[in-house]
Amino acid sequence: ESAKQLAAQVTPDMVQTGTDIPADWQQPEDNFDYIKKDVMIPMRDGVKLHTVIMIPKGAHDLPMLLERTPYDASGFAPNDSPHMKDAVWSGDRDWADGSYILVWQDIRGKYGSEGKYVMTRPPRGPLNPTRTDDTTDAWDTIDWLVKNVSQSNGKVGMIGSSYDGWTVAMALLDPHPALKVAAPESPMVDGWMGDDWFHYGAFRIGNLDYFTGQMTQRGSGPAVPREGYDDYSNFLHAGAIGTFAEKHGFKQLPWWNRLSAHPAYDAFWQLQAVDRMVAAHPSNVPTIWLQGLWDQEDIYGAVHSWEALKKAGHVANNHLVIGPWWHSQINRAGWNLGPLKWNGDTAADFRQNTLIPFFNHYLRDTPMAQPMPQAMIYNPVENHWDRFADWKVASNQVLTPIYLQADKGLGFEKAATGSDSYVSDPAHPVPYMQRPIPASNEDRWRTWLVQDQRFVSDRKDVLSYQTPVLTKTVRLEGAPIADIFAKTTGTDGDFVVKVIDVYPSTDPADPKMGGYELPIAMDIFRGRYRKSFSKPSAIPANTVQEYKFRLPTVNYEFKPGHRIMVQIQSTLFPVYDRNPQKYVKNIFFAQPSDYQKATISIEHGGANASSVLLPVVAHSTAEK
């Protein structure tokens, strides 16, 4: 038929002059086993927060599990499956069995919520003169939920990891009476001391993408554009991080302006340190403070919050859990961490056998198979959970120094006086992972803390001290403390200390693990803060100074046949920015000419006996 003949056959139902998108599409949900609602919940100042509520069909008297997030509440239940279990993201799958009402909320100013976004909004007080914060927003939300979700039993549990763990912690500062149980998972607690933004004053460059991702738009923004594939070269050639950031438009970002103006631990950081706040406002809500042993983003927060509460006498309702996980791995599969393999899926096992029963107990009155101990920490060597009736806070630990010795030896005896030196060159920093280092490679980022350190052992600017092959097990329970005495020809400088388990050189069962150098605890310390975190001072050149700082908490065993190694270097790039090694007021804005080589001498023996103070215990103190 010709075009003319076909045109003559056209009937009105074939023609669209309006739109193919209906004004209000309704998904038929007859075969769904849940009801999903999008609601706007009003806060005390009239701002409405977008909240997604998923209710199992036919539910009554169910508890509610609330997560408050800056990461798109709608994205937590992204699937269109008619089955609640398949409709939620992996972290919530175990909760979506019909026994919980699941609630996700966009925090103020993000995604579907009204209001203004402020990065980890400080609590009402000197840094926040408004009437609201994430404590009041959690309170108002819970109040609305218990009054408006008729299928609920009036009880709420809060959960969430990282930023969402921070929102749990903030809710605990003045909990609504219906908040019965909480689990801040890898919460961001102190962004200067050891969580996302800095570690002991050294800035974490990867966060630049977080600035643009989080604060250029209400939704999710782009990463910072890169010159090339390898971030090592990208940031090496970029110069000072402040200069780089501002070239990329960061002056438009108020959080960048606040953060970069406060590189020291001044009132700005101290007044938003959550561990201090929870100890000053302890709650009675049963709480599990949870994190990973190798948490590459927030390794500081949970353990410090729990310790602060224990020290303040509030341990009865506060529990510490440290799993063999990378950041937030609790919400994914936990069979392994890089090359380290565990007995089963440690994350699913913990969720199903400990976390959910704990929540059920306080939300549904079901008995717990066994009471939750004070602390549960995975033993990554023996491959099982250890349960501790009394886990010590770091300030109460018994510590045994392991000393640096001559000829790169390491041992429990103080050695003869001496020193080893290296040249730290900011133009040739030590990479934190094997190059090339792509801007985004989730697997490598998640596992860099367990990387085989042999990739840097040959560098002249990395000192490795090791014990002879061990004949007896050395067991650690707690936080090692680096205690380094060093001289530098510069007037500022960083110190990176790693405690490493050196595996036997052959492993017939798993050949590639032969000689593996596994870091079990490492951190970086910016030398200008050696005397005071809030008042930095230049390092006197060529004068021995003490650099003493706490490393991440461990529950570890060095087995016979292994060696203990302590590695020291001055850069860990580009996860951390480079120290120019010349004292300048603000490292963010150092000039190219400020970056200088420095000769670092690490002292051992005598009065300047560098060591790592190890929390050695003769026998495991775990419950039998």
Query: Among residues 160 and 519, whose Cβ is nearest to ligand PG9?
Result: 160
Residues 206-225, one symbol each (x = binds ligand PG9 by CB under 6 A, - = not), give ----x---------------
Query: Among residues 259 and 499, whose Cβ is nearest to ligand PG9?
Result: 259
153 lines the binding site for ligand PG9 (CB under 6 A): no
92 lines the binding site for ligand PG9 (CB under 6 A): no
Query: Among residues 186 and 611, whose Cβ is nearest to ligand PG9?
Result: 186
Identity (one letter) of the amino acid at 216?
A: T
Residues in the interface with ligand PG9 (CB under 6 A) total 8
Distance in Å, CB of 329 to ligand PG9, minimum = 12
Distance in Å, CB of 499 to ligand PG9, minimum = 24
Q: 63: exposed, middle or buried (C-beta count within 10 Å: 0-12, 13-18, 19+)?
A: buried
The answer to whether 332 and 347 are in contact (CB under 8 A) is: yes
Distance in Å, CB of 412 to ligand PG9, minimum = 37
Distance in Å, CB of 165 to ligand PG9, minimum = 8
Query: Among residues 221 and 239, whose Cβ is nearest to ligand PG9?
Result: 221
Distance in Å, CB of 298 to ligand PG9, minimum = 5
Query: Among residues 135 and 162, whose Cβ is nearest to ligand PG9?
Result: 162
Mapping DSSP to helix (H, G, I), strand (E, B) and coil, where does residue 227 land?
Answer: coil
188 lines the binding site for ligand PG9 (CB under 6 A): yes
Query: Among residues 196 and 452, whose Cβ is nearest to ligand PG9?
Result: 196
CB neighbour list of residue 578: distance below 8 Å, 6 or more residues apart: 426, 429, 571, 595
Sheet of 616-617, strand order: 554-558, 474-478, 616-617
Among 196, 231, 295, 483, binds ligand PG9 (CB under 6 A): 196
Distance in Å, CB of 213 to ligand PG9, minimum = 9
Q: Which of 106, 22, 29, 119 is nearest to 70 (CA)?
A: 106
Distance in Å, CB of 166 to ligand PG9, minimum = 6
Distance in Å, CB of 117 to ligand PG9, minimum = 12
Among 295, 297, 517, 523, binds ligand PG9 (CB under 6 A): 297
Q: Which of 531, 528, 506, 524 is nearest to 516 (CA)?
A: 506
Among 76, 163, 198, 359, binds ligand PG9 (CB under 6 A): 163
Site for ligand PG9 in 508-567 (CB under 6 A): none
Please report how many Cα atoms fall inside a 13 Å half-sphere around the Cα of residue 177, on the Cβ side.
2
Query: Among residues 140 and 297, whose Cβ is nearest to ligand PG9?
Result: 297
Compute the CA torsion angle 363, 364, 370, 373 (nearest 10 deg).
10
Distance in Å, CB of 617 to ligand PG9, minimum = 31
Cα–Cα distance between 326 and 340 in angstroms, integer? 12
Cα–Cα distance between 562 and 556 in angstroms, integer? 13
Cα–Cα distance between 290 and 131 in angstroms, integer? 30
Distance in Å, CB of 170 to ligand PG9, minimum = 12
Query: Among residues 195 and 557, whose Cβ is nearest to ligand PG9?
Result: 195
Q: Which of 315, 65, 38 is nearest to 178 (CA)?
A: 65
Identity (one letter) of the amino acid at 191?
A: G
Cα–Cα distance between 174 and 152 in angstroms, integer? 22
Helices (H) and strands (E) in the chain, counts: 16, 28
Query: Among residues 191 and 282, whose Cβ is nearest to ligand PG9?
Result: 191
Q: Which of 316, 38, 359, 383 is nearest to 183 (CA)?
A: 359
Please report how many Cα atoms fall inside a 13 Å half-sphere around the Cα of residue 362, on the Cβ side.
25
Mapping DSSP to helix (H, G, I), strand (E, B) and coil, where does residue 38 land?
Answer: strand
Copy the structure tokens of residue 132. Answer: 């609201």
Residues in the chain, total: 624
298 lines the binding site for ligand PG9 (CB under 6 A): yes
Query: Among residues 163 and 326, whose Cβ is nearest to ligand PG9?
Result: 163
State the CB neighbour count (10 A cutoff) for residue 36.
16
Distance in Å, CB of 207 to ligand PG9, minimum = 7
Query: Among residues 76 and 465, whose Cβ is nearest to ligand PG9?
Result: 76
Cα–Cα distance between 494 and 549 in angstroms, integer? 12
Among 162, 287, 451, 567, binds ligand PG9 (CB under 6 A): 162
Cα–Cα distance between 259 and 102 in angstroms, integer? 35
Query: Among residues 196 and 517, whose Cβ is nearest to ligand PG9?
Result: 196
Distance in Å, CB of 217 to ligand PG9, minimum = 16
Distance in Å, CB of 254 to ligand PG9, minimum = 15
Q: Which of 110, 241, 242, 245 is nearest to 164 (CA)?
A: 110
Distance in Å, CB of 201 to ligand PG9, minimum = 17
Query: Among residues 214 and 579, whose Cβ is nearest to ligand PG9?
Result: 214
Query: Among residues 381 and 524, whose Cβ is nearest to ligand PG9?
Result: 524
Copy the structure tokens of residue 120. Answer: 């980890």
DSSP class of 624: -
The residue sitting closest to ligand PG9, measured at its beta carbon, is: 162
Distance in Å, CB of 204 to ligand PG9, minimum = 9
Query: Among residues 191 and 478, whose Cβ is nearest to ligand PG9?
Result: 191
- Residues in a beta bridge with 346: none
Copy the structure tokens of residue 82. Answer: 């008619």
At how many degrees (to 10) do helices 134-148 and 163-171 cross?
80
294 lines the binding site for ligand PG9 (CB under 6 A): no
Sign for the pseudo-dihedral over CA of 517, 523, 528, 532: negative
Site for ligand PG9 in 100-129 (CB under 6 A): 120
| Cα-to-chain-centroid distance, residue 363 | 27
Identity (one letter) of the amino acid at 440?
A: S
Distance in Å, CB of 28 to ligand PG9, minimum = 36
DSSP for 354-392 reads IIHHHHHHHHH-PPPSSPPPSEEEEETTTTEEEEESSPP
Query: Among residues 265 and 558, whose Cβ is nearest to ligand PG9?
Result: 265
Copy the structure tokens of residue 430. Answer: 């030590």
Residues that bind ligand PG9 (CB under 6 A): 120, 162-163, 188, 196, 210, 297-298
